[in-house]
């Protein structure tokens, strides 16, 4: 009985090794990597027999290849989900299909941006932190919303705000710097999937910062995620007005990273 169990497990080992090996060059959180590892092992288990028939490879080699490349495919799916903000788009599509009204609440600050949208924070909800803006921050948020409205009109597509106002407690919880413009209501991180990837959006906006009233634009790439940071505050050094941040590196201008 024990030998039979071992004999069944042995052919699956190359697929497990191929899936685990692919983790070496993949980015993201460990829970996400764990989910991809499970997908890779499952794909190797069910896809190897067909791959053997199609290629003539040995079962061990076929399991390794299927495990490795299925992990790569899963990584591409996760990256696309993040980069094109498919979660919010799917949420709105489901709401429309069910006949539910768009998520709003908190009052409109401009025709297309609400206070609720600019103060939403998953971290604040998860850690039960107050993210109510101060009166001063509320005034700055009005300017931020007006800037986003101009950006939306310029691009001609909807914007998705991934991070807006953060109270000091929320800003600390997400690891933001103490001088963050988010903490004073002067900044928002956005994506515009109907226009293109964040890099394309940043390149389109950078030449028009003055006309659009953008104080600072940053194309940010951190942990495999990409977004565009827009602030109404003009930095002290002109070189910092249009920059790229990739991990711990800061580059002048909008650079593809």
What is the per-residue pLDDT across 218-254, written as a single tens digit (0 to 9) for each?
Answer: 999 988 899 999 999 999 999 999 999 998 899 999 9
Together in a domain, 128 and 23? no
Mean pLDDT of 204-214: 96
Q: Is 257 inside any structural domain?
A: no
Together in a domain, 121 and 204? yes
Q: Does residue 198 carry a pLDDT above 60?
A: yes
74 vs 104 pLDDT, higher one: 74
Mean pLDDT of 115-132: 91
* pLDDT, tens digit (0-9, with 9 covering 90-100), for 94-110: 766 765 555 554 578 89
Q: Does residue 255 carry a pLDDT above 80?
A: yes
**Given phi > 0 = left and psi -120 to 50 = alpha, else beta, which region is 26?**
beta
Helix axes 59-83, 13-22, angle to 10 degrees: 30
Q: Is 168 inside any structural domain?
A: yes
Distance of CA 158 to the CA centre of its chain: 17
Distance of CA 253 to the CA centre of its chain: 21
The dihedral of CA 100, 103, 108, 110: what is its sign? negative
Residue 114 pairs in a beta bridge with 108
* pLDDT, tens digit (0-9, with 9 covering 90-100), for 30-48: 666 777 677 777 777 777 7
Q: Which two tokens stand for residue 193?
A: 């999937």
Domain boundary among 83, 98, 120: 83
Together in a domain, 79 and 102? no
Q: Does residue 122 carry a pLDDT above 70?
A: yes
Together in a domain, 78 and 201? no
Together in a domain, 243 and 128? yes
Cα separation of 143 and 191, whole Å? 19
Q: What is the 3-state secondary structure (H, E, C) of 61-128?
A: HHHHHHHHHHHHHHHHHHHHHHHCCHHHHHHHHHHHHCCCCCCCCCCEEECCEEHHHHHCCHHHHHCC
pLDDT of residue 38: 76
Number of domains the chain contains: 2
- The DSSP output letter for 142 is H
Together in a domain, 136 and 199? yes
pLDDT of residue 18: 55
Q: Is 38 inside any structural domain?
A: yes
CATH code of residue 243: 3.30.1380.10
pLDDT of residue 252: 94
Reduce the DSSP state of residue 165 to 3 states and report it.
Answer: coil
* pLDDT, tens digit (0-9, with 9 covering 90-100), for 149-197: 999 999 999 999 999 999 999 999 998 888 899 999 999 999 999 999 9
Domain boundary among 38, 54, 83: 83
Together in a domain, 107 and 223? yes
Together in a domain, 207 and 245? yes
pLDDT of residue 60: 72
Domain boundary among 58, 83, 108: 83
Q: Domain span at residue 57?
A: 2-83
Cα separation of 67 and 111, whole Å? 49
Confidence of residue 209 (pLDDT cuts 50, 70, 90): very high
pLDDT of residue 187: 96
Q: Which two tokens stand for residue 36?
A: 């991809």
The dihedral of CA 69, 70, 76, 79: what is its sign? negative
The dihedral of CA 23, 24, 27, 28: what is its sign? positive
Mean pLDDT of 117-143: 92
Together in a domain, 234 and 114? yes
């Amino acid at each position: 009985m024990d030998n039979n169990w071992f004999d069944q497990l042995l052919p699956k080992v190359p697929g497990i090794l191929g899936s685990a090996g692919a983790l070496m060059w993949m980015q993201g959180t460990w829970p996400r990597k764990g989910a991809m590892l499970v997908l890779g092992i499952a794909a190797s288990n069910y896809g190897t027999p067909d791959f053997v028939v199609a290629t003539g490879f040995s079962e061990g080699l076929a399991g390794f290849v299927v495990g490795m490349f299925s992990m790569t495919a899963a990584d591409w799916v996760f990256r696309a989900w993040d980069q094109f903000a498919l979660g919010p788009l799917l949420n709105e599509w489901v709401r429309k299909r069910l006949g539910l009204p768009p998520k709003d609440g908190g009052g409109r600050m401009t025709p297309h941006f609400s206070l609720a949208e600019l103060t939403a924070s998953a971290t604040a909800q998860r850690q039960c932190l107050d993210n109510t803006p101060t009166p001063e921050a509320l005034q700055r948020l009005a300017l931020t919303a007006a800037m986003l409205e101009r950006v939306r009109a310029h691009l001609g597509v909807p914007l998705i705000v991934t991070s807006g106002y953060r109270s000091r407690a929320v800003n600390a919880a997400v690891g933001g710097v103490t001088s963050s413009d988010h903490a004073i209501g002067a900044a928002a991180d956005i994506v515009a999937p109907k226009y293109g990837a964040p890099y394309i959006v940043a390149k389109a906006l950078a030449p028009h910062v003055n006309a659009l009233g953008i104080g600072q634009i940053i194309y940010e790439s951190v942990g495999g995620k990409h977004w565009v940071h827009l602030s109404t505050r003009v930095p002290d050094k002109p070189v910092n007005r249009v920059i790229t941040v990739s991990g711990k590196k800061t580059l002048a201008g909008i650079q593809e990273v």
